[in-house]
Amino acid sequence: MATYLTPALAWRRLREGNERFVSGESRHPNQDASRRHSLLEDQHPFAVIFGCSDSRLAAEIIFDLGLGDAFVIRTAGQVIDDAVLGSLEYSISQLHVPLIVILGHDSCGAVTATKAAVETGEMPSGFIRDLVERITPSVLTSLRNEQPDVNDMVVEHVKQTAARLADSSRVISDAIQDGRTAVIGLSYKLGEGRAELVSGIGQL
C-alpha cells in the first residue's frame, strides 16, 4: 500500500518512532510476513535516511521502522559522493520520497579522525584520506566558530551536508522548491538514543 506523506508528516512519523525507541516502547512495525509479501512488486518509503555507517546507528531501529518504510544510504561520516547523490536522486525522482534525513551522531570516528588530521597536519593513508578530505571543511568551520568539540563538529558536518545536497543536485533542489520534499539534519545521541533536529531546508 502506498504511503504518501507531506515532509512535515514524514518528520512527525520519524519523531514518534524515535520517542518510542528512547522510552523503550518500540513496536517493531511492518516486520511480519504479510508486510514482506506486500512489498514484492513495489515500494513506497516515506523517508530517505542518509547516515553514518556506525554500527550503533541503525536507522530502522532508532526510528522504530519496518520493511518498506525508509530508503537508507550509509557511508562513514555520512560523506557524499556521486553514488550517494545518485541514490538520493533516485529516491526523490522515482520513489517520490517526501523527506531526506541527514543523520550524524556524537563521538563519530570519521569526524574524530578529521579533527586529528587538521590539528596534526598528518593525513591518513588509503581511501580514509578521501573521507577526511570531505569532512575537513566542516571541521574548519567549527574551529573558526570556536567550537572545538568533536560533537559540535558533527553538528556542523550534518548542516553542511544538508546544504551541499540542496546545492549539488538539481533534482533535489527542484523538489525542495516545489514543496515535494524537505531536507532535515539530525544529530543522534548514542547514550540517550534521541535524534535531535539541527537543520532544516524546505517546508516542514
Identify the H or E element spanning 159: helix 150-168
Q: What pLDDT was estimated at residue 6?
A: 94
* pLDDT tens, residue by residue, 187-204: 999 999 999 999 999 988
Q: Categorize the per-residue pLDDT at 185 as very low, low, confident or very high, splitting at 50, 70 and 90.
A: very high
pTM: 0.94
**Domains assigned to the chain:** 7-201 (3.40.1050.10)
- Residue 67, number of CB atoms within 10 A of its CB: 16
The mean predicted confidence, pLDDT, of the chain is 95
pLDDT tens-place string over residues 54-104:
999 999 999 999 999 999 999 999 999 999 999 999 999 999 999 999 999
Separation between Cα atoms, residue 141 and residue 131, nearest integer Å? 17
Q: What 3 state SS string does 6-17 have?
A: CHHHHHHHHHHH
Q: What is the pLDDT of residue 3?
A: 57
pLDDT greater than 50 at residue 1: no
